[in-house]
Structure 1
Amino acid sequence: MVFVVLIVIQTILFLNRAICDEFNLSGEAGQAYALEVHVGHPPQKLNVLVDTGSATLAIASYPRKENDIYFHTVSSSSLINSGKQVQAKYSQGNWSGHLASDFISFPSLHLVPEVRSDIALITKSHKFFMNGSGWQGLLGLAYLPVAAWGDNAVVGPWLDFVDKIQKKPMSFLLKLCGTQSQTNATHYGSFKMFGDDNVKPDNNFVFRTPILRKRWYEVGVLSVRLLNYTNTKKDVINNMEKDRNDTHGVSNIDIESCRELNSEKSIVDSGTTSITLPNKIFRQVVDELKGAAQNSNMLILDEFWYRGEAACWPEPQEWSLPWIGIDLLSYEADNQYFTLEIPSQNFMRVVTANNNSGGTGTVSEFCYKLGLEASGKETVLGYTAMEGLQVLFNRSAGWIGWQESDCGSNARVTGPYNASTSLLLVCSLTRPLPDVNVSIKAAQWTLCVISIVAAAVLVYLLAPCVKMFLIKPLPIAQQISLSQAALVEQENA
Structure 2
Amino acid sequence: MMRIIYCALLAFILHQALGDEYNLFGDAGQAYSVEVNIGHPPQKFYLLVDTGSTTLAVASHARQGGKSYFKANQSSSIQDSHKQVQAKYSQGMWIGQLATDFVQFPSLANVPAVRSNLALITESHKFFMNGSGWQGLLGLAYLPVGAWGENVVVDSWMDSVDRSLAVPKSFQLKLCGVKSTTNATHYGSFQMIDDQNPNRNSNRSYRTPVLRKRWYEVGVISVRALTDLVPINASLNNTNETIVEVKDFNDEMCLKLNEEKSIVDSGTTNIRLPEIVFGEIVGEIRNAARMTNVLISDEFWYHGEAGCWPEPQMWSLPSIAIDLLSADANDQYFTLEIPAQNYMRVVTASTEVGAISEFCYKLGLEAGSETVLGYTAMEGLEVLFNRSAGWIGWQTSNCGSNARITGPYNASKSLVDTCQLRRPVSETAVSIKAAQWALCGVSIIAGGVLVYLLAPCVKALCKKPIRTQQISLSQTALFEQES
Quote the offset at 1:16 in angstroms: 5.8
Q: 2:283 aligns with which of 287, 294, 297?
A: 287
The answer to whether 1:395 aligns with 2:391 is no
**Distance in 1 between the 2:168 and 2:316 partners?**
43
**Distance in 2 between the 1:431 and 1:198 partners?**
32
Deviations 1:390-449 (A, max 9, x none): 00000000000000000000101110000121100011113486796x878766654443
**Corresponding letter in the other structure for 2:217:** E
**Alignment match, 1:70:** 69
**Distance in 2 between the 1:201 and 1:457 partners?**
61
* Between 192-201 and 48-57, the greater mean CA deviation after superposition: 192-201
- SS for the counterpart of 2:196 is helix
Quote the offset at 1:152 in angstroms: 1.2
**Corresponding letter in the other structure for 1:226:** A
* Between 413-422 and 17-26, the greater mean CA deviation after superposition: 17-26
**Alignment match, 1:217:** 216
**Distance in 1 between the 2:383 and 2:205 partners?**
12
**Alignment match, 1:143:** 142
Quote the offset at 1:83 in angstroms: 1.6
- TM-score, length-normalised on structure 1? 0.84
Quote the offset at 1:19 in angstroms: 4.2
Q: 2:316 aligns with which of 316, 320, 328?
A: 320
Cα gap change, 1:172/1:241 in structure 2, threshold over 3 Å: closer, same or farther? Answer: closer
Pairing of 1:117-136 with structure 2 (within 5 A): 117-136=116-135
Pairing of 1:224-235 with structure 2 (within 5 A): 224-229=223-228
Q: CA RMSD in A?
A: 2.7
Pairing of 1:363-374 with structure 2 (within 5 A): 363-374=356-367
Cα gap change, 1:353/1:17 in structure 2, threshold over 3 Å: closer, same or farther? Answer: closer
Question: How many corresponding residue pairs?
Answer: 443
Among all aligned residue pairs of Structure 1 and Structure 2, give the percentage whose two residues are the same amino acid. 59
Cα gap change, 1:318/1:432 in structure 2, threshold over 3 Å: closer, same or farther? Answer: farther
Quote the offset at 1:338 in angstroms: 0.1
Deviations 1:136-159 (A, max 9, x none): 000000000000011112221000
Quote the offset at 1:456 in angstroms: 3.6
**Alignment match, 1:181:** 180
The answer to whether 1:269 aligns with 2:262 is no
Quote the offset at 1:450 in angstroms: 3.0
The answer to whether 1:420 aligns with 2:407 is no
Quote the offset at 1:452 in angstroms: 2.7
Answer yes or no: is the 8 Å Cα contact 2:265–2:375 preserved in 1: yes
**Distance in 2 between the 1:396 and 1:244 partners?**
27
- SS for the counterpart of 2:327 is coil
Pairing of 1:53-132 with structure 2 (within 5 A): 53-132=52-131
**Corresponding letter in the other structure for 1:27:** G
**Distance in 2 between the 1:443 and 1:197 partners?**
36
**Structure 2 residues not aligned, in runs of 5+:** 1-11, 459-483
Please identify the structure whose Cα radius of gyration is greater.
1
Q: 2:446 aligns with which of 443, 452, 455?
A: 455
**Alignment match, 1:379:** 371
Q: 1:302 aligns with which of 274, 298, 310?
A: 298
Deviations 1:2-57 (A, max 9, x none): xxxxxxxxxxx9x9679442000000000000000000000000000000000000
Deviations 1:450-482 (A, max 9, x none): 33323244457xx3x7669x9xxxxxxxxxxxx
- SS for the counterpart of 2:222 is strand
The answer to whether 1:31 aligns with 2:30 is yes
**Structure 1 residues not aligned, in runs of 5+:** 1-12, 471-493
Deviations 1:307-352 (A, max 9, x none): 0000000000010000000000000001000000000000000000
**Alignment match, 1:489:** none
**Distance in 1 between the 2:431 and 2:203 partners?**
33
- SS for the counterpart of 2:302 is helix
Cα gap change, 1:200/1:211 in structure 2, threshold over 3 Å: closer, same or farther? Answer: farther
Quote the offset at 1:70 in angstroms: 0.7
- SS for the counterpart of 2:316 is coil
- SS for the counterpart of 1:185 is strand
Cα gap change, 1:241/1:467 in structure 2, threshold over 3 Å: closer, same or farther? Answer: closer
The answer to whether 1:245 aligns with 2:236 is no
Cα gap change, 1:247/1:433 in structure 2, threshold over 3 Å: closer, same or farther? Answer: farther
**Corresponding letter in the other structure for 1:273:** T
Quote the offset at 1:194 in angstroms: 1.5
**Corresponding letter in the other structure for 1:409:** S
Answer yes or no: is the 8 Å Cα contact 1:87–1:95 preserved in 2: yes
Pairing of 1:400-415 with structure 2 (within 5 A): 400-415=392-407
**Distance in 2 between the 1:46 and 1:394 partners?**
26
- SS for the counterpart of 1:186 is strand
Answer yes or no: is the 8 Å Cα contact 1:212–1:432 preserved in 2: no
Cα gap change, 1:347/1:449 in structure 2, threshold over 3 Å: closer, same or farther? Answer: same
Cα gap change, 1:326/1:434 in structure 2, threshold over 3 Å: closer, same or farther? Answer: same
**Distance in 2 between the 1:330 and 1:413 partners?**
12
**Corresponding letter in the other structure for 2:399:** C
**Alignment match, 2:325:** 329
- TM-score, length-normalised on structure 2? 0.86
